[in-house]
């Protein structure tokens, strides 16, 4: 699948070196097809790293995907250059009158705060409400999944007595639902969080359907409104060394951090981590784009009866 991005987006060169088909605006306008319009609200501090991870994840179908990046205006990013944000990101005011086939809202390192204490919470609530009528299907990742379950369904998160950190095994539920089509009975996925929405509360919510769950890490994947809302509790988009970087960063700060589970061979941080979750991560995003975005939205988004 060609990913349509701005020709000078810094991660473009990395994607091309990985043999991922990216297309700039000049080539895209000469193709007589309507690309799938995907909006990514990037709440992570290292925005370029997250851009790369998500663009990789969206690169495995024959569809043409036109990606736009969104930032919150009510928070000042401290780890990404202002020039990068001004050039490649839009604010909600700039996009709120448009419609999108799909949207991804990323996690954020604010999980130990109450939702209402987050400085962009009011803006995020406005965006989540807006998705109901302007986006065909929205994926909420990690903290955003907890925020979405709280905002849309009133489910509370809770602090855990230890950080869920590493690779965890999950079992597929409701196999006939297209989002998990092609998944093995059990699969690995990365988690990195101090909080959770209790599995019992998710199962008790009639609006939600659980699609994958772990005995150790809880619910990994659930959805509502026949896929209009998809909640992913972990980080399937993480690359090989993301958990490694988080572990060594926290270790360097003197924090009490445990070695990520099931991640380093022989639990030795000097060993190169094995990439054991990429196939299922790609499958998740491919199924989403195909069954919950492409197959649902009409050619003319402007006339979409949401």
Determine whether 259 is exposed, middle or buried from the number of CB atoms within 10 Å of its CB (0-12, 13-18, 19+).
middle
Closest residue by Cα to residue 284 from 236, 231, 227 = 236
**pTM here?**
0.87
- Per-residue b or e along 152-169, where b marks 16 or more CB atoms closer than 10 Å to that residue's CB: bbebebeeeeebbbbbbe
Please tell me the total number of residues recorded for the chain in this structure: 306
Token pair belonging to 42: 């990037």
- For the stretch 159-177, pLDDT in tens is 999 999 999 999 999 999 9
- CA–CA distance, 262 with 247 (Å, rounded to integer): 13
- Candidate ranges 9-18, 238-247, 289-298; pick with highest mean pLDDT: 238-247
Q: CA-to-CA distance for 214 and 25, rounded, in angstroms?
A: 42
pLDDT for the residue 233: 97
DSSP 145: H
Using alpha carbons only, give the angle 93, 97, 101 rounded to the nearest 5 degrees: 110
CB 199 within 8 A of CB 170: no
Tell me the pLDDT tens digit for each residue of 123-161. Answer: 999 999 999 999 999 999 999 999 999 999 999 999 999
Tokens at residue 146, please?
Answer: 């907890």
CA-CA-CA-CA dihedral for 290, 92, 86, 74, to nearest 10: -130
Question: What are the residues facing 139 on neighbouring strands?
Answer: 104, 230
Between residues 201 and 6, the one the model is more confident about: 201
- Residues 172, 185 contacting (CB under 8 angstroms): yes
Does position 269 have pLDDT exceeding 60, yes or no?
yes
CA 214 to mean position of chain CA atoms: 19
Question: Is-contact 193 110, C-beta < 8 A?
Answer: no
Q: Which of 29, 60, 91 is nearest to 236 (CA)?
A: 60
The average pLDDT across 182-188 equals 96
Nearest alpha carbon to residue 232 among 296, 306, 297, 292 = 292
For residue 142, indicate whether it is catalytic.
yes
Identify whether 222 is a catalytic site residue. no
Q: Which of 108, 107, 196, 117 is nearest to 160 (CA)?
A: 196
What is the C-alpha to C-alpha distance for residues 59 and 142, in angstroms, rounded to an integer? 21
Among residues 111, 196, 213, 237, which one is catalytic? 237
Q: Which of 152, 170, 235, 280 is catalytic?
A: 235
In the annotation, is 235 catalytic? yes
User: Tens digit of pLDDT for each residue in 29-39?
Assistant: 444 467 899 99
Q: Taking a C-beta distance cutoff of 8 angstroms, is the pair 205, 216 a contact?
A: no
Is 78's pLDDT higher than 90? no
Catalytic pick among 142, 170, 205, 222: 142
The strand pair at 208-214 and 218-224 is best described as antiparallel
**Of 89-93, 257-261, 286-290, 296-300, which range is least confident?**
296-300
pLDDT of residue 28: 44
């Amino acid at each position: 699948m060609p990913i349509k991005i701005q020709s000078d987006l810094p991660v473009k060169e990395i994607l091309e070196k990985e043999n991922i088909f990216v297309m700039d605006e000049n080539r895209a306008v000469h193709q007589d097809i309507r690309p799938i319009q995907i909006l990514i609200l990037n709440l992570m501090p290292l925005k370029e790293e997250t851009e790369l991870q998500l663009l990789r994840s969206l690169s495995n179908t024959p569809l043409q995907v036109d990606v736009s990046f969104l930032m919150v205006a009510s928070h000042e990013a401290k780890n990404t250059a202002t020039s990068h944000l001004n050039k490649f990101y839009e604010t909600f005011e700039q996009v709120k009158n448009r419609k999108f086939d799909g949207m991804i809202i990323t996690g954020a390192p604010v999980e130990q705060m109450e939702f209402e204490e987050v400085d962009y919470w009011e803006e995020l609530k406005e965006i989540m409400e807006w998705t109901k009528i302007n986006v065909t299907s929205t994926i909420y990742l990690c903290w955003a999944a907890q925020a979405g379950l709280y905002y849309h369904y009133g489910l509370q998160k809770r602090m855990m007595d230890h950080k869920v950190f590493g690779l965890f095994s999950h079992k597929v539920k409701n196999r006939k639902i297209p989002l998990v089509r092609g998944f093995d009975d059990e699969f690995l996925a990365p988690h990195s969080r101090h909080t959770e929405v209790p599995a019992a509360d998710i199962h008790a919510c009639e609006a939600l359907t659980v699609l994958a769950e772990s005995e150790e890490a809880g619910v990994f994947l659930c959805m509502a409104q026949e896929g209009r809302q998809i909640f992913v509790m972990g980080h399937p988009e993480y690359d090989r060394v993301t958990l490694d970087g988080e572990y060594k960063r926290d270790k360097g700060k003197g924090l009490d951090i445990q070695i990520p589970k099931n991640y380093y061979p022989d639990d030795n941080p000097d060993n190169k981590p094995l990439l054991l979750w990429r196939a299922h991560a790609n499958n998740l995003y491919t199924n989403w784009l195909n069954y919950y975005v492409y197959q649902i939205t009409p050619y003319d988004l402007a006339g979409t009866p949401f």
